[in-house]
Amino acid sequence: MQDLIKKMFEAGVHYGYSKASRHPSAQNYVFGNKDGVEIIDLEKTSQLLEEAKEFVSKLATQKKQLLFVSSKPEAREAIRDAAERIDQPYISGRWVGGIFTNFDQIKRRLSKLEDLKRKREKGELAKYTKKEQLLISREIEDLEARFGGIADMRELPGAIFVIDPKHERIAVAEANKRNIPVVSLMNTDCDSSYVDYPIYGNDAARPSIAFFVEEIASAYRDTAKKS
């Protein structure tokens, strides 16, 4: 555990926000205060991380998908790269309302994207005028930007991994409504009551985000390889 805590410290995981920004649910995870910034208790964070990884491992054993979610600029690259590496769905941009609560409609959009890409690859769009082909290409680009990361998600995921549930409150609310477990990296300003597996840590700095994304992705990948 000490090695894990050292790695978290080096990644700046321990930096919280000011006491004035702290949500009451985070109180037990604050170690102290330095220069007006609250310091997160990394021993407790390590325990929360292990619980989250254990859950993610079970998810992989059950062959259920883990959806990675964050629209924060600091997290987009990390979650996209990690999700692609372990062949899991992701949303690294704005959450489109209804992805969970209106999934049947979303599946139709995904099917349309798949169909248009297939026709383009087979050269079947050549029969259209140049203007029509341009409009179709733009539609493919728009669908890719919105749904490209979940193109292979044919059913609701087994869980979602979110960076900053306060920032991704719509995604978390939809997951709660559909009883989809939420695993989340969250700072001291977040409410943990909407999260099944909270992990308190710095959710704004790239090194901290990258650390937790890799930990969660590795837990899923390592178990999936054994299954």
Q: What is the pLDDT of residues 81-92, one digit of tens each?
A: 999 999 999 999
Residues 125 and 89 in one domain: no
* Together in a domain, 12 and 74: yes
Residue range of the domain that includes 73:
2-99+156-226
Q: How many H-runs (helices) and E-runs (strands) does the chain carry?
A: 7, 7
**Nearest 10 degrees: CA dihedral of 58, 208, 47, 216?**
10
Of 115, 135, 150, which residue sits at a domain end? 150
Same domain, 208 and 187: yes
Q: Name the pTM for this structure.
A: 0.92
pLDDT at 121: 86
User: Residue 24: CB partners within 8 Å, gap ≥ 6?
Assistant: none
Cα–Cα distance, 119 to 64 (Å, whole number): 30
User: Are 54 and 116 found together in one domain?
Assistant: no
Render pLDDT for 111-126 as a digit per residue (tens, 0 to 9).
Answer: 998 888 888 888 888 8
CATH classification of the domain holding 33 = 3.40.50.10490
What's the pLDDT score for residue 58?
A: 96
Mean pLDDT of 152-169: 96
